[in-house]
Amino acid sequence: MAEETPKRTEVNHLKIDTFRSYRNKSRNVEVPEEEIKKVLVSIGKDDPSKELNCGACGYDSCREKARAVVLGKAEKEMCFVYLLDLVKSSSYRVVEESPNAVFVLKDEKVIYRNRVAGELIQNYPEILERAKGSVGETLTIEGKRFFFVKEFSLEDGEEVIMLVDITQEKLKDEELDKVKRETLRKVEEMLNKQMRIAQEIAGILGESIAETKSSFMELKMFMEGENADL
């Protein structure tokens, strides 16, 4: 709807009444509530309590920002909190999928544990207490799983206890030691056998030499007797 607003302008000390016409071209586009919620969930605001309405994105509220994203007038990455959560979630996925068990404690209470740590706690409820007493050492579970225990602190006072899985390395070392021991055993057996053979040969040679010497002495005595008769 066109509207006219009277204005009075002075030009060369002459008062001239002017009019300006304008038309309100703004449109109130209806955006389905489900689409707004979908955007909110995608930026980590799946609960109204997470809608901070900080205005850092340039919109008055998180819902206005989500509405603008649906209309293609804004990007999800314009949300500063979302970007921070995105970085954190990347680190979280790395830790969560780690083959090592990670416990985060604050005031002696566990506030986070990754998937491997959860499995260990489920199967071995005492594992965390054992880990606390084995920092810098190798923790063995039922003789088939081996973890090197590390501990360090975060800036906010949180304590991290990490159980580094060294099972494969440990099993390889044990297998190598087994091969070494078996090799030494076989070498020792071979040496003992060769010594027995040498002793037997020496014994046979000794008997043969003794017999030869005895025969020689008999022959010598016989020859001397023959010479005496002559």
Q: Indicate the pLDDT class of residue 1, thresholds 50, 70 and 90.
A: very low
Q: Indicate the pLDDT class of residue 148, thresholds 50, 70 and 90.
A: very high
Q: Give me the CATH topology for the region 98-165.
A: Profilin-like (3.40.1840)
Class of domain 26-86: mainly alpha
What proportion of the chain, given as a percentage, has pLDDT over 70?
75
Q: Indicate the pLDDT class of residue 17, thresholds 50, 70 and 90.
A: low
Distance CA 197, CA 179 (A): 27
Q: CB atoms < 10 A from the CB of 113, how many?
A: 19
Q: Is the pLDDT of residue 218 over 60?
A: yes
**pLDDT (0 to 100) of residue 216:** 67
pTM of the predicted model over 0.85: no
**pLDDT (0 to 100) of residue 163:** 92
Distance CA 87, CA 78 (A): 14
Q: Is the pLDDT of residue 229 over 60?
A: no
**pLDDT (0 to 100) of residue 10:** 57
pLDDT digit string, tens, across residues 80-95 = 777 767 656 666 777 7
Distance CA 63, CA 11 (A): 48
* Domain-wise residue ranges, the chain: 26-86, 98-165, 169-219
Average pLDDT, integer, range 1-21: 57
| Winning range, highest mean pLDDT, from 4-18, 41-55, 128-142 | 128-142
SS (H, E, C) 182-194: HHHHHHHHHHHHH
Residue that wins the pLDDT comparison between 121 and 202: 121
Least confident of 33-37, 108-112, 137-141, 183-187: 183-187
**pLDDT (0 to 100) of residue 2:** 47
Residue that wins the pLDDT comparison between 194 and 151: 151
8 Å CB contact between 116 and 131: no
Q: Indicate the pLDDT class of residue 7, thresholds 50, 70 and 90.
A: low
Q: Indicate the pLDDT class of residue 150, thresholds 50, 70 and 90.
A: very high
**pLDDT (0 to 100) of residue 149:** 93
pLDDT digit string, tens, across residues 116-130 = 899 998 888 899 999
